[in-house]
């Protein structure tokens, strides 16, 4: 897949070779990485599963400050590992987070 963006003077082409797809279940109020797999990426899309009843906070290991309601997602430009993205939920113990990572 290829994404192309361009301006008046210069165009930029970004290509990814692998689309990683995953989810993690059993999440509660403590901060956890969205995966424990060591996957390098340059962008991650994270979604609070539509079947969840609780809002989800998203961020890094020390701070999760962005709130996503069930069904909402966020795209994060990230030059690193997917496991650097952490989530926690306002309540419950069996919440699910879905993600796509481009590498």
Q: Please report the DSSP string for 32-62 in residue order.
A: EES--S--EEEEEEEEE-TT-SS-EEEE-SS
> Could you tell me the two tokens for 85?
């993205």
The reported pLDDT for the residue numbered 1 is: 40
For the chain, domains (ranges, CATH) are: 18-102 (2.60.120.10)
Which of 44, 47, 49, 50 has the alpha carbon at shortest distance from 19? 44
Task: Taking residues 69-80, report their average pLDDT.
Answer: 96
Confidence category of residue 17, pLDDT binned at 50, 70, 90: confident
pTM over 0.85: no
Average pLDDT over the chain, rounded to an integer: 88
CA atoms of 27 and 101, how far apart (whole Å): 20
Strand partners, 101: 20, 44
Distances (CA, A) of 74 to 3, 10, 83: 18, 27, 15
- Choose between 98 and 4: higher pLDDT: 98
Q: In what order do the strands lie in the sheet with 95-102?
A: 19-27, 95-102, 40-48, 73-81
Confidence category of residue 14, pLDDT binned at 50, 70, 90: low
Task: Taking residues 16-27, report their average pLDDT.
Answer: 91
- Choose between 94 and 10: higher pLDDT: 94
Q: Are 12 and 6 contacting, i.e. CB atoms less than 8 angstroms apart?
A: yes
């Amino acid at each position: 897949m290829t994404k192309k963006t361009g301006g008046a003077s210069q165009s930029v082409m970004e290509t990814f070779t692998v689309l990683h797809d995953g989810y993690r279940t059993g999440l509660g109020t403590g901060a956890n990485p969205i995966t424990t797999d060591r996957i390098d990426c340059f962008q991650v899309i994270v979604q609070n599963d539509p079947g969840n009843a609780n809002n989800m906070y998203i961020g890094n290991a020390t701070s999760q400050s962005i709130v996503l309601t069930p069904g909402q997602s966020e795209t994060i430009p990230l030059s690193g590992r997917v496991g650097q993205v952490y989530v926690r939920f306002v309540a419950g113990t069996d919440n699910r987070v879905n993600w796509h990572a481009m590498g």
